[in-house]
């Protein structure tokens, strides 16, 4: 939500400056994301007059100007400026930038220069160069009475700070400048003006009885437009008024300036009026060109397959869930979200119908999500606009149209009725102390609630009537929150939770401890931790078999699927880092993946994903370029992490990848799983499939792994006391064995068999060589295994070592291996 300091002043009489307003907003729970002053970057630009204009001696399309920018710069001397603008002429006034000025729209700092051998100092500026619009066909023309030498921001009123406030979804009342002013007034930042005061320049007046905050109705002539609602569920109330004889010209300067300041593009007076009221009062409206309508307007459900060409130039196909505004021939408006191109106003419009309707938030949400269409109107209707403000909103819009565009108004037509039932809450002021820890006098609490628009009656127990614009307040705790934020969140005391005496017992579960160990082990292995969204797009989920969990109310269409794997997020992060010059990406993430498990039940599993892309390491003067990472790098990382969390790494079996579409993401022949038996998969690793790598915009080999942390068997409960470390008294004995095996035998199976040949004396076995070639049959391979033996209370004898060696050879023989001669 953006607005300017001057705009806020139309509703709030305050002595605070912009910094004070920003601090007060944050203190009451309306977080200020930024305050910018557009005038600051244009401080060096001056109102100037072109005194003389003549042809450039060396260029037909350039002129040589003599510019007077006032006495404060250049000692009052005139500036010589080479200019190519077609509208530059003697006697005109415009905006001048002297040498040394940074031009924001062009992105450079002006310096004296020679243009076609003629010196030029500074420049006369266009609207685009000042970032005040898109026009750049000519330089800015100012009125003849513009004071020469005046700083342009002061002349144009650009020294008006712009606030950018983050509005939480529950504060629909602050989606307009007036709602924010109301909150500030309640917090003591000033006095809230009545609507009649705020809109007095437009001709609005207070009722004859002088009721504060109200405006007098318009005395229309003739019947109102023909409107009705056939969809009370989606559009309970549809109010409208006709205005005939209008002239759709450019909106007044004050209105255009405010819209431009907050990033809105002025279009025409009729359109700008509706945009202004939407931002000023949080009340979206729509204006139809009456000449383009066929009969009356009706709010109804769309017919399946109906189409509408919206104002954004796109066509949308509708379904029966959606509320639309239509005439006798076709749909003109996606109700509460965006108007249609066919009935939009133009320069030739003379008669209009102003719509002020109430659309239910649920209906707006369903339509917006189904169409993937967002707008400023949708943001407000989806949160919930004030259902009691239809008449006043229509009156204000009509008055502004007549004041700016002329014309005469009809009577108002009111179809349906808005949901405006009064809600009351029994409120005990003592709840503020019990819930928030702040002791606020009951009278002060009642005053705070009244200043926010609530009606508070009673003494000990207050009967509080909730204003129509506070859809979010439904109970006593909500009223406590209102009191606390106005008093100040910084007044809430920091109270520690009670703690039992003695040493605190550990509260982390086994899975939490395992997750902590896995995260530390991955970081120790040299991997960088990533934290990605659990939501991904359908396109990112597709290579992983698609997503089983589809969100009904996603943040955006790009975050619609709950991730079936952690790898999409890591791949996207690798692509972003690679695009920014990262030579090597070594990352991991611990999180949950989501899928449909047994019996079609939703399931989620804790997983550690890791990814290695780019170069394996930095270039070295001895080794040269390191090259790309290999599947064995991923396997090494997986085994190191599994060992750190206590998994029985020595018992793991290497088996092919299969099941749940897993094989589709891995490179065939360069991937595998680590399992405890044929069914318990602890991890999968290897090179990713080239199609997957290409789909994520990466090049070269990319290796990855997924460790399924919740599949790791948990050890028995143990006491915090560790056994005393008792190192062996004798040194280990190592023996090497070379076996001939079929070339399709997994080396891990051979090593496991050797390690299990004598579980008492063999403490380790590892593969240290693989050879195929001369001396080895074509269908065989030589695998060399180092076996580590640990003697007990005495050294091994030769016979004992021979006996153990025989066991090793026998165990290897069961795997089809024979001792190489």
Cα maximum dimension of the chain: 119
Q: What's the confidence (pLDDT) of residue 558?
A: 84
Q: What are the pLDDT digits (tens) for 527-545?
A: 999 999 999 998 899 888 8
* Strand runs labelled E in 597-660: 602-614, 653-655
**Closest of 595, 527, 535 to residue 561, by C-alpha:** 535
Fold of 423-491: Phenylalanyl-tRNA Synthetase; Chain B, domain 1 (3.30.56)
751 pairs with which residues across the strands? Answer: none
Q: What are the pLDDT digits (tens) for 435-459?
A: 999 999 999 999 999 999 999 998 8
Domains of the chain, residue spans: 2-37+160-193, 40-156, 227-416, 423-491, 510-711, 733-819
Half-sphere exposure of 78 (CA within 13 A, CB side): 12
**Closest of 222, 345, 354 to residue 292, by C-alpha:** 345
Fold of 510-711: BirA Bifunctional Protein; domain 2 (3.30.930)
**What does DSSP assign to residue 156?**
H
Helix ranges restricted to H, 507-657: 510-524, 538-541, 567-579, 631-644
Backbone angles phi, psi at 308, to 5 degrees: -140, 135
CB count within 10 Å of CB 496 equals: 5
> Is 623 a residue whose pLDDT tops 80?
no
Higher pLDDT, 572 or 718: 572
> Is 206 a residue whose pLDDT tops 70?
no
**Closest of 647, 639, 564, 546 to residue 607, by C-alpha:** 564
52 labelled ligand-binding: no
Could you tell me what percent of the chain has a pLDDT over 90? 69
User: Average pLDDT, whole number, for the chain?
Assistant: 90
Q: What are the pLDDT digits (tens) for 154-197?
A: 888 788 899 999 999 899 999 999 999 999 999 999 999 988 88
Instruction: Calculate the alpha carbon distances from 89 to 71, 86, 399, 700 in Å.
Output: 21, 8, 40, 61
Higher pLDDT, 507 or 680: 680
Q: How far apart are the first and last CA of the chain?
A: 82
Sequence-ordered list of residues with C-beta below 8 angstroms from that of 548, at least 6 positions apart, any chain: 562, 564, 594, 595, 596, 602
* pLDDT, average across residues 671-677: 91
478 labelled ligand-binding: yes
> Is 716 a residue whose pLDDT tops 70?
no
Q: What's the confidence (pLDDT) of residue 714?
A: 79
Which residue, chain included where needed, has tokens 């370029």? Answer: 625
> Is 660 a residue whose pLDDT tops 50?
no
Q: What are the pLDDT digits (tens) for 312-360?
A: 999 999 999 999 999 999 999 999 999 999 999 999 999 999 999 999 9
Fold of 40-156: OB fold (Dihydrolipoamide Acetyltransferase, E2P) (2.40.50)
Q: What's the confidence (pLDDT) of residue 599?
A: 65
> Is 98 a residue whose pLDDT tops 90?
yes
CB count within 10 Å of CB 611 equals: 27
> Is 199 a residue whose pLDDT tops 90?
no
> Is 212 a residue whose pLDDT tops 50?
no
- Global pTM reads 0.67
* pLDDT, average across residues 25-51: 91
**What does DSSP assign to residue 749?**
H
Sequence-ordered list of residues with C-beta below 8 angstroms from that of 528, at least 6 positions apart, any chain: 586, 587, 588
Q: What's the confidence (pLDDT) of residue 661?
A: 43
* pLDDT, average across residues 733-752: 91
> Is 738 a residue whose pLDDT tops 70?
yes
Sequence-ordered list of residues with C-beta below 8 angstroms from that of 6, at least 6 positions apart, any chain: 157, 160, 258
Q: What are the pLDDT digits (tens) for 349-408?
A: 999 999 999 999 999 999 998 998 999 999 999 999 999 999 999 999 999 999 999 999
Q: What's the confidence (pLDDT) of residue 659?
A: 52
* pLDDT, average across residues 119-145: 88
**Closest of 327, 324, 328 to residue 339, by C-alpha:** 324
C-beta of residue 386 within 8 angstroms of C-beta of residue 468: yes
Higher pLDDT, 67 or 204: 67
Q: What are the pLDDT digits (tens) for 762-816?
A: 999 999 999 998 888 888 999 999 999 999 889 999 999 999 999 999 999 999 9
Buried b (16+ CB within 10 A) or exposed e, 222-234: eebbbbebebeeb
Fold of 2-37+160-193: Phenylalanyl-tRNA Synthetase; Chain B, domain 1 (3.30.56)
Q: Is there a common fold for 2-37+160-193 and 423-491?
A: yes
C-beta of residue 818 within 8 angstroms of C-beta of residue 756: no
C-beta of residue 259 within 8 angstroms of C-beta of residue 266: yes
Alpha-carbon distance of 611 to 688, in angstroms, equals 10
Q: What are the pLDDT digits (tens) for 591-616?
A: 999 988 766 666 889 999 999 999 88
> What's the CATH architecture for 227-416?
3-Layer(bba) Sandwich (3.50)
Alpha-carbon distance of 576 to 698, in angstroms, equals 10
482 labelled ligand-binding: yes
Q: What's the confidence (pLDDT) of residue 472?
A: 93
> What's the CATH architecture for 733-819?
2-Layer Sandwich (3.30)
């Amino acid at each position: 939500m953006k607005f300017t300091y001057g705009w806020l002043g139309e509703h709030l009489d305050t002595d605070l400056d912009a910094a004070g307003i920003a601090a007060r907003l944050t203190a009451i729970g309306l977080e200020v994301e930024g305050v910018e002053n557009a005038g600051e970057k244009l401080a060096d630009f001056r109102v100037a007059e072109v005194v003389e204009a003549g042809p450039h001696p060396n260029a037909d399309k350039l002129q040589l100007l003599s510019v007077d920018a006032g006495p404060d710069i250049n000692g009052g001397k005139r500036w010589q400026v080479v200019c190519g603008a077609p509208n530059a002429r003697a006697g005109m006034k415009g905006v001048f930038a002297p040498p040394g000025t940074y031009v924001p729209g062009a992105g450079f700092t002006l310096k004296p220069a020679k243009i076609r051998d003629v010196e030029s100092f500074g420049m006369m500026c266009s609207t685009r160069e000042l970032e005040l619009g898109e026009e750049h066909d000519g330089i800015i023309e100012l009125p003849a009475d513009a004071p020469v030498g005046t700083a342009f921001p002061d002349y144009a009123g650009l020294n008006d700070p712009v606030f950018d406030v983050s509005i939480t979804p529950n504060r629909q009342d602050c989606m307009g400048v007036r709602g924010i002013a109301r909150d500030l007034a309640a917090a003591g930042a000033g006095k809230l003006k009545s609507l009649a005061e705020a809109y007095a320049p437009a001709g609005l007046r207070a009722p004859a009885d002088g009721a504060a905050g109200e405006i007098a109705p318009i005395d229309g002539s003739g019947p109102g437009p023909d409107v009705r609602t056939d969809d009370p569920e989606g559009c309970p109330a549809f109010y409208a008024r006709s205005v005939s004889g209008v002239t759709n010209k450019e909106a007044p300067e004050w209105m255009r300036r405010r819209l431009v300041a907050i990033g809105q593009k002025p279009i025409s007076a009729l359109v700008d009026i509706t945009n202004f009221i939407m931002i000023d009062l949080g009340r979206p409206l729509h204006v139809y060109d009456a000449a383009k309508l066929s009969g009356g307007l009706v709010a109804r459900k769309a017919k399946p397959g109906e189409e509408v060409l919206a104002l954004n130039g796109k066509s949308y196909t509708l379904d029966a869930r959606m509320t639309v505004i239509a005439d006798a021939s076709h749909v003109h408006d996606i109700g509460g979200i965006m108007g249609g191109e066919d009935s939009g106003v133009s320069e030739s419009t003379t008669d209009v119908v102003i719509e002020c309707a109430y659309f239910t938030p649920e209906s707006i949400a369903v339509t917006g999500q189904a169409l993937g269409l967002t707008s400023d109107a949708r943001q407000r209707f989806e949160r919930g606009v004030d259902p009691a403000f239809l008449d006043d909103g229509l009156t204000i819009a009509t008055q502004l149209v007549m004041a700016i565009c002329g014309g005469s108004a009809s009577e108002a037509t009111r179809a349906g009725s808005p949901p405006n039932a009064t809600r009351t809450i029994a409120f005990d002021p003592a709840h503020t102390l019990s819930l928030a820890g702040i002791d606020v006098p009951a009278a002060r609490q009642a005053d705070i609630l009244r200043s926010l628009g609530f009606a508070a009656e009673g003494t000990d127990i207050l009967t509080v009537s909730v204003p129509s614009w506070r859809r979010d307040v439904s109970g006593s705790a909500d009223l406590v929150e209102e009191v606390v934020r106005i008093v100040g969140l910084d007044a809430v005391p920091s109270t520690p939770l009670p703690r039992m005496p003695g040493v605190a017992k550990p509260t982390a579960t086994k899975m939490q401890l395992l997750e902590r160990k896995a995260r530390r082990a991955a970081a120790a292995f040299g991997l960088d931790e990533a934290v990605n969204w659990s939501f991904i797009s359908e396109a990112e989920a597709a290579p992983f078999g698609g997503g089983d969990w589809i969100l009904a109310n996603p943040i955006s269409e790009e975050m619609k699927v709950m991730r079936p794997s952690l790898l999409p997020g890591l791949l996207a992060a690798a692509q972003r880092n690679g695009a920014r010059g990262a030579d090597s990406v070594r990352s991991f993430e611990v999180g949950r993946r989501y899928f449909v498990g047994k019996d079609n039940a939703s399931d989620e599993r804790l997983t550690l994903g890791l990814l290695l892309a780019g170069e394996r390491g930095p270039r070295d003067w001895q080794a040269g370029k390191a090259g790309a990472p290999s599947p064995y790098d991923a396997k090494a990382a997986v085994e190191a992490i599994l060992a750190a969390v206590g998994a029985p790494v020595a018992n793991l079996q290497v088996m092919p990848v299969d099941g749940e579409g897993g094989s589709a993401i891995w490179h065939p022949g360069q991937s595998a799983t680590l399992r405890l038996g044929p069914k318990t998969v602890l991890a999968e690793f290897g090179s990713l499939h080239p199609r997957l790598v290409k789909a994520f915009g990466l090049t070269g080999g990319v290796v990855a792994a997924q460790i399924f942390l919740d599949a790791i068997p948990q050890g028995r409960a143990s006491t915090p006391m560790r056994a005393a470390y008792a190192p062996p008294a004798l040194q280990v004995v190592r023996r090497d064995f070379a076996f001939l095996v079929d070339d399709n035998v997994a080396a891990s199976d051979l090593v496991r068999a050797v390690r299990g040949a004598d579980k008492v004396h063999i403490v380790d076995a590892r593969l240290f060589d693989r050879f195929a070639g001369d001396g080895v049959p074509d269908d065989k391979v030589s695998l060399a295994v180092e076996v580590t033996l640990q003697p007990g209370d005495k050294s091994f004898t030769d016979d004992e070592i021979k006996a153990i060696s025989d066991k090793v050879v026998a165990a290897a023989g069961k795997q089809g291996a024979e001792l190489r001669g």
